[in-house]
Structure 1
Amino acid sequence: MNLRRLLLPFSGLYWIGTSVRNMLYNIGMMRTTSFNIPIINVGNLSVGGTGKSPHIMYLIDLLKNEKLVSSLSRGYGRKTKGFLIANYSTKVYDIGDEPLQFFQRFKNRVLIAVCEDRVFGAKKLIDHYNAETILLDDAYQHRSIKAGFNILLTDYNNPYYKDYLLPAGDLRESSSGVKRANIIIVTKCPDRISEEKHKEISKKIKLKSHQQLFFSKIVYDNKIIGKLDTIEKSTWKNYNVILVTGIAKTDGLVKFAEENFANVLHLEYPDHHNFSQTEIEYIYKRYEDTEGRKRFDKIVLTTEKDYMRLMEESMIKDDLYYIPISIEINDKEKFNQTILEYVGQN
């Protein structure tokens, strides 16, 4: 028995609170601010683990040649406050791991901003930086800012319609919130999904007339990247790996690593984890204890997001690598056209 189900009475109280809040927004008693540029919100109903970052990066890549694109998040885990724009001297504690990941991937081709007040942040991006499109990262419940287009993500292995409200489950609001979405993406899908499974999921989601449903899967790169070099997939079987993760859901990555490297020792930490010096020393000790004939037959492997927090740790930085990921979306042309039409018409 899942012991969290004992908390269902408290989920009832949580439902009352979130439902009243949503109702007040729906009837206009709580203020929503709109802007005259395209704003796309990418979020979910649950607490983390649906793959927002690669979907944001997909959208940046799609739109970066169309408009001056910006991403705006609160900058989870940062040690600063207020509005900040990423630049070449920005550190992970300035803006958080995911925004820094976006900046490292796209550099100055886009604006990467953080601000806990999304309305203030959007105004700054538009008035001072001439942003032409804003991607709101994880702001589905931040209804004080009016997005013109909402993309809702839900995990194939734990869809929102099988989950419970906090604290008995992982939902931030009830499943009725799905109606605000223009596009729903079922993420982290297996390589192949039968037509019957497609229909089953579509039936359970109960799409409204204004909604479209897509499916995406994680695609791991054919190389891993470190400070000193890159290592091609063709040689991965020669490496013993200390896999260090600080993400919400690790099953897919662990399975991929075990299939592609010689041996894998997984050191798992909480999502957005800030590593202490003691933990860095422990990681290094496990690396030193790992069998290897020479320097490059053993490595420390991590995610691109975790690399943002680990890349300056002197004990491991020369032996640290990350594996880039991207997404593939079924009916990619239709998805791209829908997004480009919205941005082009607003």
Structure 2
Amino acid sequence: MRLYDPILYPFALLYDGITRLRNRLFDIGSKKSVEFTIPTIVVGNLSVGGTGKTPMIEFLIERLIGQYKLATLSRGYGRKTSGVLIAGEHDTALSIGDESFQIFTKYGQNVLVAVGEARIQAIPEIIMEKPETEVVLLDDAYQHRYLKSDFNILLTTFQLPFFKDKILPLGTLREHRKGAIRADVVIMTKCPEDMSEDMKGECRLEISRYTNENCPVFFAGVKYGLPYGVSPSAHKMMGNIILLSGIANNKVLIDHVHSHYNVLEVLEYPDHYRYSINDIQKMVQTFRHHLARSPVILTTEKDMVKLKDLEFNEYLKEIPIFALPIKVDLKHTDEDKLMDMISMTIIEKGYKSEL
């Protein structure tokens, strides 16, 4: 127990009571949920950030994109705009949020990307904009119970699974662990490669205390792709790097980078951090400090899209910057089971695969 936990306990008790009451009102129908004819698939968590929702959304996009006409919807956390927006060629991380802009940058030619705080208002806008849409993937909407989703994917990390976590502000849970009862599948993310079957069995047992009897539990690792250049001067990936990280729970990322490269410095920022000119100048100064060792800047795709802001161009044009793709690594058998469940959900709503 931390010294200040007794001070936080009454606030956690109050927050727990409020969220339980809210869930209860939805459960009994006093608060109404809206179900749409178009299939809706939610990727979310019980905790505050850092479970790998965006990589999971990309995982689903890459497996469904050839079968269905897709749209993604998120709140657009960190954006300067509000209301429902459909991403277009003039949008940036500031207008639609860093994660949504990352998805738009990678898949925008084939997937409609939308943001909106009120999901039940945004989905009709999506259908109006693109009537042929067949599936909507919702990022971070597990607690958005005004939407009655068709399939809920609940993510929790190996490092801090929800069954070991506590309610805010004592821990990072947005709602009680019992909220896992709404999950159709639970995926433990960021699992180590050497995770034993005994450990998986223990985690399944703990998770099953809070889920439906038939809710499967899968275990996913993190798979890093090859870094690719994102600045004009990024020609060749060198061994000496300065790591720029603005993501939640970045220990797995830092461990991976240290094991593959010679890390000169790590510049760490909070999740969804909005970089300023001062931050960019600090990065440039750090780069110049190590200039004799021919360093490069290595960052995540999520951070990379924020560095594309036009006001940073003059500072970064001579800096070699590389982005490190982060993907979900799910066993083929678990992947097949997950996609079968999702496909069945979509078919039950009356939509058939184009394959």
What TM-score bracket applies, with the shorter chain setting the length?
Answer: over 0.9
Structure 2 segments unaligned to the other structure (5+ residues): 350-355
Contact 2:51/2:155, CA 8 A, preserved across alignment: yes
Select the residue among 302, 307, 314 that pairs with 2:304. 307
In the alignment, is residue 298 of structure 1 matched against residue 301 of structure 2? no
Structure 1 residue 180, shift from structure 2 partner: 0.2
Match of 1:148 in 2: 150
Structure 1 residue 264, shift from structure 2 partner: 3.1
For 2:326 and 2:202, locate their aligned partners in 1 and report how far apart those are by CA, in whole Å. 28
For 2:235 and 2:224, locate their aligned partners in 1 and report how far apart those are by CA, in whole Å. 14
**Kindly tell me: are residues 110 and 3 of structure 1, through their superposed partners in 2, closer, same or farther at Cα, counting changes over 3 Å?**
farther
Contact 2:235/2:320, CA 8 A, preserved across alignment: no
Output the amino acid matched with 1:321: F
Select the residue among 151, 159, 162 that pairs with 2:161. 159
Match of 1:217 in 2: 221
Match of 2:58 in 1: 57
In the alignment, is residue 260 of structure 1 matched against residue 260 of structure 2? yes
Match of 2:108 in 1: 107
Structure 1 residue 218, shift from structure 2 partner: 0.8
Structure 1 residue 126, shift from structure 2 partner: 1.8
Structure 1 residue 86, shift from structure 2 partner: 1.3
For 1:277 and 1:134, locate their aligned partners in 2 and report how far apart those are by CA, in whole Å. 36
Q: Where do 1:191-340 residues align within 5 Å? A: 191-206=193-208, 207-228=211-232, 238-292=238-292, 297-312=294-309, 313-314=312-313, 315-317=315-317, 318-330=319-331, 331-340=334-343
Contact 2:86/2:126, CA 8 A, preserved across alignment: no
Q: Where do 1:37-56 residues align within 5 Å? A: 37-56=38-57
Structure 1 residue 175, shift from structure 2 partner: 0.5
Output the amino acid matched with 1:40: I
Structure 1 residue 324, shift from structure 2 partner: 0.7
Structure 1 residue 222, shift from structure 2 partner: 2.4
TM-score by length of 1: 0.94
Which secondary structure does the structure 2 equivalent of 1:266 belong to? strand
Contact 2:247/2:271, CA 8 A, preserved across alignment: yes
For 2:245 and 2:267, locate their aligned partners in 1 and report how far apart those are by CA, in whole Å. 7
Residue deviations 1:279-314 (CA, integer Å, cap 9, x gap) = 111111011101435xxx311111100111112322
Contact 2:229/2:320, CA 8 A, preserved across alignment: no
Contact 1:223/1:230, CA 8 A, preserved across alignment: no
Structure 1 residue 66, shift from structure 2 partner: 1.6
Contact 1:63/1:340, CA 8 A, preserved across alignment: no
In the alignment, is residue 120 of structure 1 matched against residue 124 of structure 2? no
Output the amino acid matched with 2:277: Q
For 2:195 and 2:42, locate their aligned partners in 1 and report how far apart those are by CA, in whole Å. 27
User: Which range is displaced more, 84-93 or 195-204?
Assistant: 84-93
Structure 1 residue 229, shift from structure 2 partner: 7.2
Match of 1:93 in 2: 94
Structure 1 segments unaligned to the other structure (5+ residues): none
For 1:35 and 1:305, locate their aligned partners in 2 and report how far apart those are by CA, in whole Å. 30
Contact 1:68/1:133, CA 8 A, preserved across alignment: yes
Structure 1 residue 262, shift from structure 2 partner: 2.2
Structure 1 residue 230, shift from structure 2 partner: 6.5
**Kindly tell me: are residues 83 and 36 of structure 1, through their superposed partners in 2, closer, same or farther at Cα, counting changes over 3 Å?**
same
Output the amino acid matched with 2:292: G
Output the amino acid matched with 2:26: Y
Output the amino acid matched with 2:114: A
For 1:300 and 1:204, locate their aligned partners in 2 and report how far apart those are by CA, in whole Å. 41
Which secondary structure does the structure 2 equivalent of 1:264 belong to? strand
Contact 1:240/1:292, CA 8 A, preserved across alignment: no
Segments ≥4 residues shifted beyond 4 Å? 229-232
**Kindly tell me: are residues 4 and 121 of structure 1, through their superposed partners in 2, closer, same or farther at Cα, counting changes over 3 Å?**
farther
For 2:163 and 2:213, locate their aligned partners in 1 and report how far apart those are by CA, in whole Å. 19
For 1:230 and 1:43, locate their aligned partners in 2 and report how far apart those are by CA, in whole Å. 35
The count of aligned residue pairs is 339
Structure 1 residue 253, shift from structure 2 partner: 1.1
Structure 1 residue 194, shift from structure 2 partner: 1.1
Which secondary structure does the structure 2 equivalent of 1:267 belong to? strand
Structure 1 residue 328, shift from structure 2 partner: 1.4
Contact 1:156/1:186, CA 8 A, preserved across alignment: yes
Match of 1:5 in 2: 5
Output the amino acid matched with 1:334: K
Output the amino acid matched with 2:67: E
State the superposition RMSD in angstroms: 1.6
Contact 2:44/2:141, CA 8 A, preserved across alignment: yes
For 2:224 and 2:4, locate their aligned partners in 1 and report how far apart those are by CA, in whole Å. 33
Structure 1 residue 107, shift from structure 2 partner: 2.2
For 2:263 and 2:16, locate their aligned partners in 1 and report how far apart those are by CA, in whole Å. 45
Contact 1:38/1:134, CA 8 A, preserved across alignment: yes
TM-score by length of 2: 0.92
**Kindly tell me: are residues 176 and 196 of structure 1, through their superposed partners in 2, closer, same or farther at Cα, counting changes over 3 Å?**
same
For 2:56 and 2:33, locate their aligned partners in 1 and report how far apart those are by CA, in whole Å. 25
Output the amino acid matched with 2:253: L
User: Which range is displaced more, 151-160 or 7-16?
Assistant: 7-16
User: Which range is displaced more, 123-132 or 297-306?
Assistant: 123-132
For 2:112 and 2:302, locate their aligned partners in 1 and report how far apart those are by CA, in whole Å. 18
